Amino acid sequence: MPRPAFEGHLKTMIIAIDGPAAAGKGTLARRLAAHFGLNYLDTGGLYRLVGWTVVRSGGDPADPASATAAARALDPAALADGRLLADPALRAEGAGQAASKVAAIGTVREALLDFQRAFADRDPGAVLDGRDIGTVVCPGADAKLFVTASVECRAARRLKELLDKGEQAIGERVLEEMRERDARDRARSVAPLVPAADAVVLDTTELDADAVFAKAVAIISGRRPASL
Ligand code: DC
């Protein structure tokens, strides 16, 4: 598929990993980046950072003016260094909910687009995970995976993650929040969560991380497993 007209694409390899919350995208994307020797960007972290910045300053993440100002104020050099996105506060469910709200605002998405494309364009290429990588950010990516799992399975994984971190969490509440976030991410008018037409859908409900990784490597290497 021909790549769209943004620069530097001929020498890099780009892998787009999209899908709903807690489907295993992050774990998979990190492993793929290490395996293929590529850079890695967790684009959800960008939206979490914007959402959390607004909440921390007492604002409403659903307010377009505050959210857009926070997105435009991000310094690309500071972001590229990776430390900003490593803040553990960004992993909490509150930051996830705030992220999902700012992510529904078109001007926030626009403000984050150049950084994501520039990151993807750097040698030797990158694995990006998010919701709209294969559809909007890198429509010409070399490989596109849409990683998903049932909402019950994703909520159970998220609950385990929270309990393992020593956080208090109730299964029913985690499931409810997961459904809420899914609905918001899928229903928004700008860059909604949908698989790209040329993405391979990988359902991880019955798979462990190693099996997901093996399938993904096979798909990317052009050896599509018979069971898909
Ligand atoms: O992947 P995550 O759970 O860290 O993402 C947090 C929120 O950010 C998610 O609910 C939707 C939004 N998001 C997005 O809209 N587009 C992306 N490329 C990545 C995340």
How far apart CA 204 and CA 209 sit, in angstroms, is 8
CATH superfamily of this structure's domain 9-219? P-loop containing nucleotide triphosphate hydrolases (3.40.50.300)
Of the pLDDT bands very low, low, confident and very high (cuts 50, 70, 90), residue 11 is: low
pLDDT surpassing 80 at residue 7? no
Residue 53's DSSP bridge partners are none
* One-letter amino acid for residue 4 of the chain: P
Of the pLDDT bands very low, low, confident and very high (cuts 50, 70, 90), residue 223 is: low
Closest alpha carbon to 21 in 151, 113, 136:
151
For the chain, give every domain's residue range: 9-219
For residue 226, what are the CA distances in angstroms to 87, 218, 219, 223? Answer: 40, 11, 10, 9
| Phi–psi pair at 203, nearest 5 degrees | -90, 120
Distance 106 CA to ligand 1 centre (A): 14
Distance 206 CA to ligand 1 centre (A): 23
| Phi–psi pair at 126, nearest 5 degrees | -155, 160
Q: Is 102 in the pocket of ligand 1 (CB under 6 A)?
A: no
pLDDT tens per residue across span 131-184: 999 999 999 999 999 999 999 999 999 999 889 988 888 999 999 999 998 998
Q: Is 132 in the pocket of ligand 1 (CB under 6 A)?
A: yes
pTM of the model as a whole: 0.90
- Ligand 1 atom 3: residue of nearest CA: 21
For 201-216, what is the mean pLDDT? 96
Distance 131 CA to ligand 1 centre (A): 6
